A and B are shown apart, each in its own frame.
Chain A
Amino acid sequence: MTDDTTPMTDGGTDDEARTDGGPPATVPPDDETPTWSDRKERSQGLAQLTYQYFERSRREDEDLRAESTYVERDVLGFPTWPHETIRNLAITSFFLGMILLVASILPSHFGDPANAGSTPAIILPDWYLYWSFGLLKLSPINPDLAVLGGNIIVSNELYGLIAHGAIFGVITLVPFLNKGNARRPVEEPGWAALGVTGVILAITLAVLAIQNFFPVPLELLFSLVFMLPVAGGVITYAVLKTMREGYMYDLNRRYYMLRPPK
């Protein structure tokens, strides 16, 4: 590249007198930049596997598109403007309005200043944490071991914590436990029943947290906390099972008319 005729920044051609360091040495020659297929061939190990998988996945897309019978038409779905936008504006203003209305007619309570020396008779978080607070009141069912002379194995606080962990753990695992294409509750009465059980349990646990306000013996309340969710689940299951037959018939007919099984 550096021949005598390459002009220098001052216009001279005398290499001995060069002060600008010459042309940059790091410009990659364009014709040597590897093409994608070159790279694929050269790469090895994980990079090669990645390329191979990408190719498969692209081909999969193409094939699916080729064999798709997807119906397209000119205007599909609601246009964002104005339909969706107006609808969303309506919902949004209604929701904001409700918050402002409730905020103005039910202003928040404010209590006495903190006092480390006097425990209040009733300690409560906001309502949405009642269920969590209820979980901390499960000490009556904290198992004890006869071997330890009736001593509990874990402290009541830790027991409550473990209950929290179990609940969040189960919720996290839901997508990995329930697979398949079913979407509607009627298609999977068991899972719907589980959901209803969970919702009712959240409510009964909240009631357990504010047990002082319920003139029910603690024993009974405790049983109800667990019996009601189960009862709710069983009823849901029964109802959905009953609905299922007629419902699924309709649904399947519509499905298979449009997309016959291969």
Chain B
Amino acid sequence: MSLKKQDDMDHNAWLKSQDLTAIETAFLTTLIWLDKRLRIVDYLELLETMYYRANLQMPKSHTEQYDLDNKFWYWYPLYSLGSLSIIAYLLAAVSGAMLGFYYAPSTAGAAAQGDPTAAYDSMVMIMQDVQFGFMLRSIHRWAAQFMVAAVFLHMLRVYFTGAYKEPREVNWILGVVLIALTLLFGFSGYVLPWKQLSFWAAQIGVELALATPIVGEWAAQLLFGGFTLGQATLVRMYILHVFVLPFVVTALIAIHVGIVWVQGIAEPH
């Protein structure tokens, strides 16, 4: 009898008593070695739980319960429009971040009226000199347009399937805010290259802001940095486009999808 304290959990002895292949032995030895030091069994258990959660057994859906599946499968793609908005949004975010490496939000450099500014020149540089730059800009623009289209169609899907009814009113209102912000995203981005159409679109924006009663001048100051367009306008549109809106829209989308998660998708009846 040994004086050494008996190990109740002698894993190595257990390992030897098993009839294992070389691969199994190597695997178990490594696992035991790591587990003694890091107790990874806990984390593996967490992973396992997550695996089962992902394969959740869901209650029978309305569609199944009333055996409507044969009628409904061809509507399913419409239910992916919300996710497609998110995907387009992500693509625009990634390509936009890369455009941000080269773009300069500045109206400096124009000697006379109508000369190219630094912002304009940086856009030309992106399209002509930067490797893949033209494609990058193209991807960003089209991702934005696909996003707006997807959001609009998503709204129509929600409208025509009556998915906004109780208890989903809050999400509908959030959606209205989201579509407005998406359009504002597009507008502020449109101004950034500081080309003719950018400038005159912004001009219309200022005029509209100024036409608003009571808060008009304040709004024009806030959004456009003054009553005539210039450097201040460009920087404000830039900050709106690359700082304020990304945070706000991302947060709102997270809440929007979180609510869908909590409430479940409204199934067609």
Contact = CB atoms under 8 A, between A and B. Distances in A.
Contacts, number: 207
Interface string B118-149: 00100110010000001101110111011011
A156 to B, nearest CB: 8
The 9 A-B residue pairs with the shortest CB-CB distance, nearest first, are: A157-B211, A115-B114, A114-B199, A175-B169, A183-B162, A103-B138, A77-B58, A183-B269, A113-B116
A108 B116 contact: no
A125 B195 contact: no
Contacts of A115: 113-114, 196, 199
A74 B213 CA distance: 62
Contacts of A100: 139
A123 B204 contact: yes
B176 A168 contact: yes
A7 interface: no
Interface stretch (B3-11, B33-41, B59-67, B240-248): B59-67
Interface stretch (B17-25, B76-84, B253-261): B76-84
B60 A199 contact: no
B176 to A, nearest CB: 5
Given A117-B113, A195-B156, A72 B59 contact: yes
A54 B56 CA distance: 28
A26 interface: no
Contacts of A107: 134-135, 137-138
Nearest to A160: B208
Contacts of B160: 185, 192, 195
Given A117-B114, A168-B176, A195-B160, A95 B87 contact: yes
A128 B186 contact: yes
Nearest to B56: A80
Nearest to A174: B164
A40 B204 CA distance: 59
Contacts of A119: 200
Contacts of B229: 114, 116
Given A168-B176, A175-B164, A184-B162, A113 B115 contact: yes
A188 to B, nearest CB: 7
A81 interface: yes
Nearest to A195: B159
Given A110-B127, A184-B269, A118 B166 contact: no
A174 B149 CA distance: 21
A30 interface: no
Given A126-B186, A128-B186, A199 B197 contact: no
Given A71-B65, A107-B134, A258-B66, A125 B187 contact: yes
A57 interface: no
Contact of B165 (A80, A175, A195): A175
Interface in A238-262: 251, 254-255, 258
A32 B110 CA distance: 76
A161 B219 CA distance: 14
A132 B60 CA distance: 43
A178 B79 CA distance: 21
A125 B188 CA distance: 11
Contacts of A71: 60, 65
B197 A120 contact: yes
A175 B135 contact: no
Given A104-B135, A108-B137, A129-B186, A123 B162 contact: no
Contacts of B156: 195, 199
10 contacts: A70-B59, A76-B64, A77-B58, A77-B64, A106-B142, A113-B195, A117-B113, A161-B211, A174-B159, A183-B165
